[in-house]
Structure 1
Amino acid sequence: MNAGFYTVDRKGSLQQGQTMELIRFDDVDPPELQEHLDMLFPKGVTAHGDNSFVKNDTHFQISSYTIELVWENVRRAHFPTTPSRFQSVFAVETLRAAQAFRNAFGQADHKIWIVEAQSSFRANMDLLRNASTALVTSYLAHLYWAQQSPSGHSEFWETLLTPPVRVLGLADE
């Protein structure tokens, strides 16, 4: 069990002792979309998958749903053993990184929690930015899943945690 990751609770939904699991939907309408969702993610998605793939709730999103879909398709085609972003809980490795994330994408009152998971994958979140061309977008997606960054590109390393992810407690700030 890998402990000591940090996640920013931008929805205010986490609590100590909680376990985050995959969510399995059975009410997507029309039925053709339910079948498509079941084909792609038969075990379900995380809250991120719900917001970014099922609903397209961009309120808390860092990148566009198009970028998320490109990243998923590159992962499926070229890096199939890596975890899907749609089936992951996002965290960072240090409290300082969590505070930086909260400052950039959240609000000062969003709590930072310590979480643990059996499996993790580290990648550069800054590569998710909309690129200038399809070629650049494809290149950045491949680098993300290869856990690399182009020289001179900014880096912000996120950790994709594979559920179950357990919330251990609030981080001491």
Structure 2
Amino acid sequence: MPRFYTVDRRGTLHEGQTLGLTRYDDVTPAVLQQHLDVLFPDGVAAHGANNFVSADARFQVTDHVIELAWENVRRAHFPTAPSRFQSVFAVDSLDEARAFRTAFDPTGTAKIWRLETEHDGFRVNMELLRTHVSALMSSHHAHCYWSQKSPDYEVPVTWEVLLTPPVQVLGLAE
């Protein structure tokens, strides 16, 4: 089975845990619950809970508008790609996990965990979520992201892997 690494900035992972989707039934007002049920009838992963359902900005790599725009591009043009809101995020190597922790964990104390899943994952350039200056460029970056390609102009590359649950937490990587 393929193995990956993830940085646990929230401090919620533990050995033997299975990461999956959570279905919410307590969203208010009711019209938002209905909207959530239509968009994600199977539920959302932790990223979806934090960035779509509750909008917890403390652990953001990008902003909610970009997340929503990327989701809408995915739905319209790449419907077979996994939703970011229903994915577990990982990288392929321990070195990549360390680099992510250095870039996105100001305390440098987040733990790095080994993950396992039955799927190879969906590799995308996460820098495309952060490098845009116009609506045209944002749209192009969203299409590049979901097509798993880099644009023909200079954009940094930081690969992330979207894993479709269930994902097993094997143990600490270091």
Aligned length: 171
Report the CA distance between 1:130 and its aligned residue: 5.3
* Contact 2:144–2:150 (CA under 8 A) maintained in structure 1: yes
Matches of 1:131 and 1:66, distance apart in 2: 13
1:77 aligned to 2:76? yes
Please state whether the residue corresponding to 2:137 is helix, strand or coil: helix
The structure whose residues are more often strand, as a share, is 1
Q: Report the counterpart of residue 134 of structure 2 in structure 1.
A: 133
Alignment of 1:20-39 (within 5 A): 20-39=19-38
The answer (yes or no) to whether the contact 2:90–2:161 under 8 Å persists in 1 is: yes
Q: CA deviation at 1:118?
A: 2.1
Deviations along 1:90-110, whole A, 9 cap, x unmatched?
000010110000000013211
Contact 1:88 1:162 in 2 (8 A): yes
Asked if 2 retains the 8 angstrom alpha-carbon contact of 1:63 and 1:130, the reply is: no
SS at match of 2:150: coil
Cα deviation for residue 152 of structure 1 reads: 1.6
Deviations 1:71-121 (A, max 9, x none): 000000000000000000000001011000000001321100000112210
AA partner of residue 166 (structure 1):
Q
CA contact (8 A) 2:131 2:155 kept: no
Q: Which runs of 5+ in 2 are unaligned?
A: none
Query: Secondary structure of the equivalent of 1:90?
Result: strand
| Residue 58 of structure 1: aligned partner | 57
Q: AA paired with 2:110?
A: H
TM-score (norm 1): 0.96
**What are the superposed Cα offsets for residues 34-73 of structure 1, whole Å, 9 maximum, x if unpaired?**
0000000000001100111011111001000000000000
Contact 1:90 1:160 in 2 (8 A): yes
How far apart, CA to CA, are the structure 2 residues paired with 1:24 and 1:118?
22
Counterpart pick for 2:166 among 161, 164, 167 = 164
Structure 1: tracts of 5 or more residues without a match: none
Tell me the SS of whatever aligns to 2:7: strand
TM-score, length basis structure 2:
0.96
Give the Cα separation in 2 of the matches to 1:21 and 1:10: 18
* 2:51 alignment partner AA: S
Counterpart Cα distance in 1 of 2:131 and 2:49? 21
Identity of aligned residues (%): 60
Alpha-carbon distance between aligned partners in 1 of 2:57 and 2:117, rounded to the nearest angstrom: 26
Give the aligned residue type for 1:152. Answer: E
Higher mean displacement: 124-133 or 154-163: 124-133
CA distance in 2, matches of 1:118, 1:58: 31
- Cα separation, 2, equivalents of 1:118 and 1:85: 18
